Amino acid sequence: MTKKREYTIYKTNEFGDIYIISDGEAIVHVELFADGWEKMNNQYEFVKSDAPLLQEAVKQLDEYFRGKRTVFQLPVKWEGTPFQQKVWQALCDIPYGETASYSDIAEKIGHPKAVRAVGQANRANELAIIVPCHRVIGKNNALTGYAGNRTDVKEKLLQLEQHYRSG
């Protein structure tokens, strides 16, 4: 049986269409890339919706992109292992406009040798921007591993945050 999901699209000039997906109770996915959206269409039955939760997510993303929001206050549902969920919670603790390395996150969650596993959990994050995986960088400050090597998007998100944080 195919799972049903509600979605809406937040349109941006800088990043294109951002797909926001809900299970009716919480935000379960934020997709920045059309190819990711196309892959999900094989897994779920999607219904375009203007449900209040999705409209609130659009409002909060709009505030984020205008520098008016630094923390999201939306119900989210993480689907992952306990380790992944620890990583994702740690990502939410990285302050707006700042970055942390994969090893910083590994240390924070009590698994200092699990740097690669942190990278894999970061990659599995389905709540882009809301769970700010773009704030995680390589130990040498390299912009690594964002959404299939889309480091250009990671860089733009970090620049946006640094612009509003300093201005």
Point out the residues that are catalytic. Answer: 133
Measure CA 141 to chain center: 20
Nearest to 11 by CA among 62, 68, 76: 62
What whole-number distance in Å separates Cα of residue 58 and Cα of residue 111? 35
